Amino acid sequence: MSKKRFTLPNWAAYLINAALFAAFIIGGNAVLSSGALPSFITKVAMLIGIQVIAAVSLNISTGYLGQLPLGHAGFMAVGAYASAIFMTRTGIPAQLAFPLGIVIGAAVAGLFGVLIGIPALRLKGDYLAIITLGFGEIIRVVLLNIDSVLGFKLTNGAAGLQGIPKTTTFVNAWLMVGLTCFLIHTFMKSRHGRAVLSIRENEIAAESCGINITYYKTLAFSLSAAFAGAAGALYAGYLGILNPSNFGFMKSIEILVMVVLGGMGSMAGSIVAAIVLTAAPEALRAFDDYRMIVYSLLLIATMIFKPSGLLGRYDFSMKRIIEKCVNGELFASFRRGRGKGAEEA
Amino acid sequence: MKRVFAMVMAVVMAAVMFAGCSAGGNNNASNNSGSGDTIKVGLLGPHSGEYAVYGLGVRNGAELYFKKVNEAGGINGKQIELVVYDNKGDDTEAVTAFTRMVDEGVTALVGDVLTGNTLAVVGEANAVNMPMITPSATAAAVTVKEDGTVYSNVFRTCFIDPFQGEKMAAFAAEVLGVKTAAVFAQTGNDYAQGLADAFKAKCAELGVEIVAEEGYAKGDVDYKSQLTNIAAKNPEVVFCPNYYEDDGLIVTQARQVGVTGTFLGGDGWSGVKNYASADVLEGSYYCSGYAPASTDAVKQFEEEFVAAYGKDTLNMFAATAYDAAMIMCAALEKAEETGYAPASEEYKQAVIDAIRTEGPNVKGITSEGGYTFDEYNNPIKDAVIIKVTGGEEVFDRMF
Amino acid sequence: MSVFTTIIKQLINGLQSGSIYALVALGYSMVYGIIMLLNFAHGDVIMVGAYIAWMMMARFAANPIIALIAAVIGCTVLGVLIEKAAYKPLRQSPRISLLITAIGVSYFLENVAQLVFGANAHVIPTFIDDTPIQLGQIAIPTTALITVIVAGISMVALNVLVKKTRMGKAMRAVSEDAGAAQLMGININNTISFTFAVGSALAGIGSVLYCCAYPKATPTMGSMLGLKAFVAAVLGGIGSIPGAMAGGFAIGIAEALVSSAGLSEWKDGVVFAILIVVLLVKPTGLMGRPMTEKV
């Protein structure tokens, strides 16, 4: 090929992506608020946004860092409770308290990520899985019982924290999705992100190259926790009531299923899987009894036949697609069978 | 093989997405039809999963009455169309399902079933002023907002938690004449704690000494450690306000470690006879909102219920749901007189008003004296004391 | 009743639940020792065993001994089936894939049980005369006595199997170094399947003992039991048979003491806290061998 290959400058790529995302938010909001669709679709759309954030955040520690934490729902719970307590106990008007609440939820969850990550990340593999599971359960037990121990009303225990302003909307949920994806994407493209990836590939080799393993593991883990906290804060604003039982082990598994099916290490995969697995039960209510069985079989079959998940480590890139279009390579790559993947995200 | 599997997975996912879209479309189409000649009533509860036995009891009990009304010609000539959704015992699902009901033009709701789910739904229901009667959500907060104002659209046909605790304390002091009691309640469970707290307060008032107080966590199966502590204090009664599956094990293990006192429980005991032997349960009492086989009306309900749904879900929830359906039908009858279209704002308000005014005339199977609602929309009705004897749960007295 | 007798009673309570944990922990420990897999589904094998026992006794009115045999056989077959169908194809895969598969299997068994038997608890008829045995001031529940004795016998039998038989030797060889064992002519696949069979058979015995003590079967009964048994295995030192026994008893007694101190709601928290402390202070457990990382 003698012709110089066309490449899209980075600023143009960001601009195009931002424009497409803005069009998605504005268009989506216009369609949903026009009343053409039943209002429960709006609810499901918000829920999908929350699940996408949860899945994408778990993907940092599972996909990029290569660890398997099983207490992700615990971080969601921390974020949800932190922001809900902030919103209900301070007199700040809900419109202002909500964004602040998300930040606080993410910050507190991130802090918990650091506190739990430092001891837990000394372990590997199965031990890490079980210890994070243990921490997740402890968080739930504490939320359930802390009131009766300390003797004041903080989390309301099993009665649930009620009266949280329902401030989550389609627009702010999906803006948060966009922000999360953008931040994670830029983090992973940075020097720090590459350090995290190198730990996944070979911990000992990474360490001998001078990468501070403990620092980067904790960083990635707490980042993962912080975004889970943000998802929790949105969840609190979505439901208006919080109960520790909503953040049990099953919730952690649900998020894990999304990440594994989508492909560990693929953000696009996590997003597609989160959308499908949240929308599908609503669409297929008749098959509800079999849903969990299908999930578990999919999990096993994926591991046996395609351990990398649906998209593997493939990530969707608008920039690459445009470049390929201009260079006339789009179909060539499909013919070589490398370009498979959904056009979502 | 891997490629094939990936392709299959991709196709399945895509198919699911399209199914989702088309299902959404269908619902949309059915939205605007059919509100003229039918009245849509929602039935919401956990019909699958861990709490299915409660949810199915409610669904079957309510459906039984609505079907009878439909067979008798409906309400003002209009058939009742039931819109049934399963919330799987999940708060999120409950809210989504409720929103779907609103989309489909539901006028009134019988449900939700579990307290937690109901709390998630009441806010949504209040926003659209949907008349709802829950047959089973017992927490006081279900009808009262955080700030103390009452949800004017939410009613219930069951007791609230503190009421049962007080009744059992009074029963222990006045009927059994005991001086010492112990409490063994599940911690982190709103229902059990609500009953236990009210029991302790009333005991203090009536001069019954609480000699031991123990708790256990959800999912526990070994209670011997705590029961050993209780046995050491030798109380005359043990108040055990938990759900029947746990209660059966608790009483069995209590007898093993030497607890000799009489066991008392709340309405969660209903069905306990299947979970422990007749010997260990002999002489225990619990209070309930429903007295099996106590009157002719109740017997008739039980016969019809068993004929339609079998015995598995015939429980207190089925009975209070039957009453909730009865009240709802009486209120709809009244609202029909106003001439507004079902599901309109005025119609829903008329139903809410009618629940209050018509309730006292409804001779329910769990409240023969009718349903009078107090200022917090809770029914004023007597408790039924059930005694477990000879392996059966039999009606003892009204109290 | 004096404080002393109360403490003795609490210790007996702890020993009873501890011996069940120990039996289950052995299954975890053996499997982990041989293929480095945390077999999440092991707890659910117990659940299946409990349902088999319930079916035999409640539906077919079988004799308790027959029910026990059926539960043990059922668990053994299930354990081997799981190994062949789900884990064997992943022998060469990264550990994380194996772990996710195990979670999938666990999830699958729980949900199938829920679909088949329903979510509510099934009561297993009591089959042991429940009159406590009086020993001076202390009443020992018969079930506790039987549980501890049966568990003890099973563990001794297992120890003999691993130490004295040909198959036991092969198991130890494979867990030491699978590659070298293969070169010595040991059939690795058969050995691993056999390990699963033995572990699951112990789970079957555990499930019947569990049913005797807490006579109900629910679809999710295995998950917490399994996790705590795993904690017991780690505490004792993974791969070590006496370690698993010691760990099981330790966890059972710790739980009984925490509950009797009025902190039952923190019981699970305490168990996991023990795990965390053990892993941080002595990751190889009380009786485990130190492991060095190979580059």
For residue B115, the chain A residue with the least C-alpha distance is: A159
Are A299 and B9 a contacting pair, CB within 8 Å?
A: no
Residue B30 pLDDT > 50, yes or no? Answer: no
pLDDT at B318 (0 to 100): 92
Question: Which residues of chain B lie closer than 8 angstroms to A43, CB-CB?
Answer: 95-96, 99
d(CA A105, CA C211) in angstroms, rounded, equals 44
Map out the domains of chain A with their CATH numbers: 38-314 (1.10.3470)
pLDDT at C67 (0 to 100): 86
Q: Encode pLDDT of C217-241 as tens digits.
A: 888 888 888 888 988 988 888 878 8
Name the residue type at position A70: L
Q: Which of B130, B93, B129, B127 is nearest to B113 (CA)?
A: B93
Length of chain A: 345
DSSP character string of C83-148: IIIIIGGGTTS-HHHHHHHHHHHHHHHHHHHHHHH-SS-EEPPP-S--PPEEETTEEEPHHHHHHH
Query: Inter-chain contact B23–A241, Cβ cutoff 8 Å?
Result: no
pLDDT at C295 (0 to 100): 46
Residue B191 pLDDT > 90, yes or no? Answer: no
Confidence category of residue A175, pLDDT binned at 50, 70, 90:
very high
Share of chain A above pLDDT 70, in %: 92
Mean pLDDT of A61-89: 92
Are A311 and A341 a contacting pair, CB within 8 Å?
A: yes
pLDDT at C123 (0 to 100): 81
Name the residue type at position C284: T
d(CA B247, CA B265) in angstroms, rounded, equals 9
Look at A28-37, A212-221, B62-71 and tell me which has the smallest mean pLDDT: A28-37
Name the residue type at position A204: I
Mean pLDDT of C154-159: 89
Mean pLDDT of B44-55: 84
Question: Which residues of chain B lie closer than 8 angstroms to C14, CB-CB?
Answer: 225
Q: Report the residue from B1, B31, B103 with minimal CB separation from A305.
A: B1
Residue boundaries of the structural domains of chain C: 3-281
pLDDT at A128 (0 to 100): 86
For residue C107, the chain A residue with the least C-alpha distance is: A296
**Average pLDDT, whole number, for chain A?**
85
Mean pLDDT of B181-208: 90
Are C234 and C275 a contacting pair, CB within 8 Å?
A: yes
Mean pLDDT of B161-186: 92
Share of chain B above pLDDT 90, in %: 48
Confidence category of residue A338, pLDDT binned at 50, 70, 90:
very low
Residue A182 pLDDT > 90, yes or no? Answer: yes
pLDDT at C209 (0 to 100): 87
Query: Inter-chain contact C264–B274, Cβ cutoff 8 Å?
Result: no
Look at A310-319, B377-386, C195-204, C210-219 and tell me which has the smallest mean pLDDT: A310-319
Backbone angles phi, psi at B242, to 5 degrees: -115, -175
Question: Which residues of chain C lie closer than 8 angstroms to A134, CB-CB?
Answer: 272-273, 275-276
Residue B7 pLDDT > 60, yes or no? Answer: no
From the CA of A43, how many Å to the nearest CA of chain C?
Answer: 27
Residue C51 or A334, more confident: C51
d(CA B47, CA C117) in angstroms, rounded, equals 15
Q: Which of B371, B335, B349, B344 is nearest to B75 (CA)?
A: B335
Look at A149-158, B360-369, C218-227 and tell me which has the smallest mean pLDDT: A149-158
From the CA of A214, how many Å to the nearest CA of chain C?
Answer: 15
Query: Inter-chain contact A43–B123, Cβ cutoff 8 Å?
Result: no
pLDDT at C118 (0 to 100): 78
Q: Encode pLDDT of C52-79 as tens digits.
A: 988 888 888 778 788 889 999 999 999 9
d(CA C216, CA C51) in angstroms, rounded, equals 9
Q: Strand B108-110 and strand B384-389: pairing?
A: unpaired
Mean pLDDT of C208-220: 85
Q: Which tokens in the block code for residue C84?
A: 């062949």
Residue C294 pLDDT > 50, yes or no? Answer: no
Share of chain C above pLDDT 70, in %: 95
Q: Which of A267, A289, A279, A253 is nearest to A183 (CA)?
A: A267
Residue A102 or B6, more confident: A102
pTM value is 0.85
Residue A200 or B312, more confident: A200
Residue B157 or B33, more confident: B157
Q: Which tokens in the block code for residue C88?
A: 């064997």
From the CA of B83, how many Å to the nearest CA of chain A?
Answer: 14
Q: Element (H or E) spanning C170, and its range? A: helix C166-176
CA A319 centroid distance within chain: 23
Mean pLDDT of A83-88: 91
Residue C74 or B220, more confident: C74
Residue B35 pLDDT > 50, yes or no? Answer: no
Q: Which tokens in the block code for residue C130?
A: 């429940």
Question: Which residues of chain B lie closer than 8 angstroms to C19, CB-CB?
Answer: none
Residue A345 pLDDT > 60, yes or no? Answer: no
Q: Which tokens in the block code for residue B101?
A: 């009901």
pLDDT at A229 (0 to 100): 97
Q: Tell me, what's the ipTM? A: 0.82
Q: Which tokens in the block code for residue C185?
A: 């002519």
Confidence category of residue B36, pLDDT binned at 50, 70, 90:
low
pLDDT at B251 (0 to 100): 93
Look at A290-294, B390-394, C210-214 and tell me which has the smallest mean pLDDT: A290-294
Residue A341 or C258, more confident: C258
Strand partners, B286: B265, B386
Query: Inter-chain contact A47–B92, Cβ cutoff 8 Å?
Result: yes
pLDDT at A235 (0 to 100): 95
Map out the domains of chain B with their CATH numbers: 38-159+295-381 (3.40.50.2300), 161-288 (3.40.50.2300)
Mean pLDDT of B136-153: 88
d(CA C58, CA A90) in angstroms, rounded, equals 57
For residue A294, the chain C residue with the least C-alpha distance is: C108
Name the residue type at position B208: V
From the CA of A260, how many Å to the nearest CA of chain B?
Answer: 13
d(CA A239, CA B283) in angstroms, rounded, equals 44
pLDDT at C141 (0 to 100): 79
Give the best residue of A59, A130, A288, A302 to mutate against chain C (max C CB count within 10 A).
Answer: A130
Mean pLDDT of B220-232: 88
Give the best residue of B3, B9, B13, B96 to mutate against chain A (max A CB count within 10 A).
Answer: B13
Name the residue type at position A260: V
For helices C3-35 and C142-164, give the axis angle rounded to 10 degrees.
30
Confidence category of residue A34, pLDDT binned at 50, 70, 90:
confident
Q: Report the residue from A119, A249, A300 with minimal CB separation from C86.
A: A300
pLDDT at B24 (0 to 100): 40
Most confident of B28-42, C20-34, C258-272: C20-34
Q: Which of A280, A188, A283 is nearest to A227 (CA)?
A: A188
Q: Element (H or E) spanning B134, and its range? A: strand B132-134
pLDDT at A185 (0 to 100): 92
Sequence-distant (≥ 6) Cβ neighbours of residue A141 within 8 angstroms: A244, B188, B217, C265, C266, C268, C269
d(CA A28, CA A174) in angstroms, rounded, equals 10
Sequence-distant (≥ 6) Cβ neighbours of residue B224 within 8 angstroms: B253, B256, B257, C13, C16, C141, C256
CA distances from C92 to A202, B329, C35, C97, C99 (A): 17, 65, 11, 10, 13
pLDDT at B28 (0 to 100): 38
d(CA A275, CA A270) in angstroms, rounded, equals 9
Q: Element (H or E) spanning B155, and its range? A: strand B154-156
For chains A and B, CB pairs below 8 A equal 123
Q: Encode pLDDT of B373-385 as tens digits.
A: 999 999 988 888 9
d(CA B198, CA B266) in angstroms, rounded, equals 12
From the CA of C61, how many Å to the nearest CA of chain A?
Answer: 30
Q: Is C163 exposed, middle or buried (0-12, 13-18, 19+ CB in 10 A)?
A: exposed
Q: Which tokens in the block code for residue A66?
A: 């290569």
pLDDT at B22 (0 to 100): 39
pLDDT at B369 (0 to 100): 83
Mean pLDDT of A216-237: 96
Residue B32 pLDDT > 60, yes or no? Answer: no
Q: Report the residue from A282, A283, A306 with minimal CB separation from B5.
A: A306
pLDDT at A221 (0 to 100): 95
Residue B399 pLDDT > 60, yes or no? Answer: yes
Confidence category of residue B8, pLDDT binned at 50, 70, 90:
low
For residue B140, the chain A residue with the least C-alpha distance is: A159
DSSP-derived secondary structure letter, B144: B
Sequence-distant (≥ 6) Cβ neighbours of residue B241 within 8 angstroms: B164, B165, B168, B185, B191, B192, B195, B196, B199, B265, B266, B268
Share of chain C above pLDDT 90, in %: 27
Q: Encode pLDDT of A269-287 as tens digits.
A: 999 999 988 888 777 766 6
**Average pLDDT, whole number, for chain B?**
86
CATH topology assigned to domain C3-281: ABC transporter involved in vitamin B12 uptake, BtuC (1.10.3470)
Residue B240 or C13, more confident: B240
Confidence category of residue B257, pLDDT binned at 50, 70, 90:
confident
Q: Element (H or E) spanning B239, and its range? A: strand B237-239
pLDDT at A305 (0 to 100): 87
C-alpha atoms less than 13 angstroms from C-alpha of A191 in its C-beta half-sphere: 2
Residue C96 pLDDT > 60, yes or no? Answer: yes
Peptide bond into B279 cis (omega under 30): no
For chains B and C, CB pairs below 8 A equal 98
Are A126 and C279 a contacting pair, CB within 8 Å?
A: no
Are A59 and A309 a contacting pair, CB within 8 Å?
A: no
Name the residue type at position C75: C
Are B253 and B225 a contacting pair, CB within 8 Å?
A: no
Q: Which of C152, C4, A242 is nearest to B228 (CA)?
A: C4
Residue C140 pLDDT > 50, yes or no? Answer: yes
